[in-house]
Amino acid sequence: AHLAGAHAAKGVMCESCHKSGTSVSDGEREVNASCVGCHGPMEKIPASSEGPNPHKSHLGDIQCTTCHRAHESSRAYCLECHDFPQFEKMPFASPKRPAPKPLDDFTHAKPERVETVDLVVVGSGAAGFVAAMEAHDRGVRNIVILEKMPIPGGNSQLAAGGMNAAGTSFQKAQGIEDRAELMAADTMKGGKNVSDPALVDVLARESAASVEWLRERGAPLENVARGAGASAARMHGPKGGLAVGPYLSAFFRKNVDQLEGVDLRLNSRMVKLVRNDRGDVTGVLVEGLHTGLYQLDAKAVILATGGLGANKALVKKYRPDISPETKTSNQPGTTGDGMILGEEAGAALVDVQEIQLNPTLLVGSPVIISETVRGQGAVFVNREGKRFIQELATRDVTSAAVSKQTGGTAFEIFDDGVRERVAQLKAAFELGLAKEGNTLEELGRNAGIDPANLKATIERYNAMARAGKDDEFGRPDIKIELKGPRYYAIEITPAIHYAMGGLKIDTDTRVIDKAGKPIANLFAAGETTGGVHGKNRLGGNSISETITFGRIAGDRAADAILKK
Ligand code: FAD
């Protein structure tokens, strides 16, 4: 009882979907083209269930087969992260997706075939896409981007707030004074001075050029806000306060789709790094969903596989103190593969015990409410209706403070002004997780917060905002009053969010082995690497890292390839 059988019962036979024979590529583009050919584009197909429309998800333009499988049980991809019971009723649905084979199983596995390319980029988040685009700009062709999930984008696609950069043209146009030195100092301080200063220097110094790189290619980030731990407004996002991740991800996908010589392969998992007798990396072993196990020989490999937040075993290994009940904000493919396979290939790891909790995961659905909401004026209160922290404190401090409140949760309180300035708040409203009130007391009653205390707290906060000084907690940017006309509350709790540690790299993104030497032909960028964020990442610094170090990785890999 599968979709294929249901089609056959209606006389829609194999050749209707498999127009060019029955073999299917791992990315399943051709069968998806058949789905669209008969049913029309996804966004035009009405969803049969109530609640969020899975055909217009925040994941952008996804393929039908991400959820609807023809020859096996189907399952709504949304259920990997969200609790939407109505989606369980999807036709031919199964309650679980089969777990992937452990990476260990491939240590001695032999490929069924070998393919040769110039560059393999592993991971289709921001770091991977940027690296591939930069290498292509430098003249490299025959590039394969491997993505193990059925959709590209990784955690990058979920990024909500923005990208930190200092000294940009957008800041200058808005009269914001900022310098790379200041960004570097904030990053070092935010990371408790354990970051690698050389990497932090590159992050800060190259950040404005990275914003320019995006702008030149058609993705301007002109909205500038102030993030936690930053001494200037430098968190860049798209116009209108849209979330940065979906915006950049859509841009990267469109761009890479048009590049000749860049092949994005979905459902294609790197399961091993292949090395020669000298220990040089010579390629990767790939498990393709349909094409089986094969080897990609390459002149260079860039690891851009992201963090480890969705790998409970790895989180437990590095941070046994984090409760196994703690949820994650990460997409399910964030399982530390680059770190695991890099280490197996001899790479050194740095700061892997430094796993960041983000204080503001929505209670009820794993969506992160970005710091921009606080940056634009939201106030934290607990269930008792009292403030308990300076809202712009760093994530480690805020997460620890939220955990100590009644029930381990707290509330972000805001008004229509904040709601209008931060478009990404839409998600909380769409998910039905924002409570409302015409007065603060009404809001308190609707959200389960002490109404009288909430009113007193916000009135006092407004008085301090008018005076421009937070006498209670020392909030640095206190100037925006919450004045209605309607008031809102979102309940939040800390979640496993970000891996500060990872593969050791140098400023050329070369992966460094345990003896301190670069592993030949192996580069890495983005969250799979360590050293930039020390003990605590500042919001906005990761997208910045992915663009800057992605550019460097693409450039240095191109150097290595074009020399050969
Ligand atoms: P990712 O974007 O995670 O991409 C890695 C990709 O590699 C994934 O698609 C993954 O499936 C794939 N992959 C993994 N293993 C394999 C394998 N073996 N074979 C093939 N493919 C593989 N940072 C900011 O700076 N600003 C923000 O506003 C912000 N908001 C965030 C909001 C949320 C909800 C989350 C989760 C993170 C946020 N971050 C933010 C952090 C930031 O988005 C990520 O750290 C960053 O995008 C990581 O980019 P990446 O390219 O390194 O990895």
Residue ranges of the domains in the chain?
3-89, 102-160+242-354+500-564, 358-496
**For residue 478, what are its two tokens?**
């206190």
Cα(34) to ligand 1 centroid in Å equals 31
What residues contact 376, with CB distance under 8 A and at least 6 apart? 225, 241, 414, 418, 421, 422, 480
Distance CA 499, CA 357 (A): 9
Atom number of ligand 1 nearest to Cα 526: 52
Taking the CA of residue 497 as reference, the ligand 1 atom at the shortest distance is 36
Segments in the chain below pLDDT 70: 48-49
d(C-alpha 480, C-alpha 227), whole Å: 15
Q: What is the pLDDT of residue 451?
A: 98
304 close to 121: Cβ distance less than 8 angstroms? yes
* Ligand 1 proximal residues by C-beta, below 6 Å: 122-128, 146-149, 154-156, 158-163, 244-245, 269-270, 304-306, 329-330, 333-334, 337, 368, 370, 498, 526-528, 539-543, 546
pLDDT at 277: 96
Q: Which conformational region is residue 283 in: left (phi greater than 0), alpha (psi within -120 to 50 degrees), or beta?
A: left
Query: Cα dihedral sign for 232, 233, 236, 242?
Result: positive
Domain with residues 358-496, CATH architecture: Alpha-Beta Complex (3.90)
- The domain made up of 102-160+242-354+500-564 has a fold known as FAD/NAD(P)-binding domain (3.50.50)
Name the phi and psi angles at 360, rounded to 5. Answer: -120, 60
Per-residue b/e over 324-339, b at no fewer than 16 CB within 10 Å?
A: eebbbbbbebbbbbbb
Same fold, 102-160+242-354+500-564 and 358-496: no
Instruction: Yes or no: say if 139 and 119 are a contact pair by the CB < 8 Å rule.
Output: no
DSSP 101: P
Residue 395 known to be catalytic:
yes
For residue 328, give the ligand 1 atom closest to its CA: 36
Give dist(CA 526, CA 513) in Å, integer: 18
Ligand 1 atom, smallest distance to 152 CA: 9
**What are the pLDDT digits (tens) for 197-228?**
999 999 999 999 999 999 999 999 999 998 88
Q: pTM for this structure?
A: 0.91
Q: Which residue, judged by its Cα, is nearest atom 18 of ligand 1?
A: 270
Q: Which residues contact 401 (CB under 8 A, 6 or more apart)?
A: 359, 388, 389, 393, 410
ipTM for the whole complex: 0.99
Q: Which of 387, 395, 475, 510 is catalytic?
A: 395
User: What pLDDT is recorded for position 163?
Assistant: 97
Mutating to test ligand 1, I would choose from 120, 155, 294 the residue with most ligand atoms within 8 A of its C-beta, which is 155
- Residue 345 has, within 13 A of its CA and on its CB side, a CA count of 34
**β pairing state of 119-122 and 143-146:** parallel
Q: What is the pLDDT of residue 88?
A: 86
Cα–Cα distance between 272 and 513 in angstroms, integer?
17
Helix, strand, or coil (residue 178): coil
Give the sign of the dihedral formed by CA 9, CA 12, CA 18, CA 22: positive
Question: E strands, 230-378, where?
Answer: 235-237, 262-265, 268-275, 281-288, 292-297, 300-303, 349-350, 355-362
Class at the top of the CATH hierarchy for domain 3-89: mainly alpha
Among protein residues, the one with the nearest Cα to ligand 1's atom 26 is: 540
Q: Rounded to an integer, what distance in angstroms lies between the CA atom of residue 55 and that of residue 62?
A: 8
Measure the N-to-C terminal CA separation of the chain; round to a whole number of Å: 53
Residues 6+ positions from 202 with CB-CB distance below 8 Å:
507, 548, 549, 552
Which amino acid residue places its CA nearest to atom 24 of ligand 1? 540
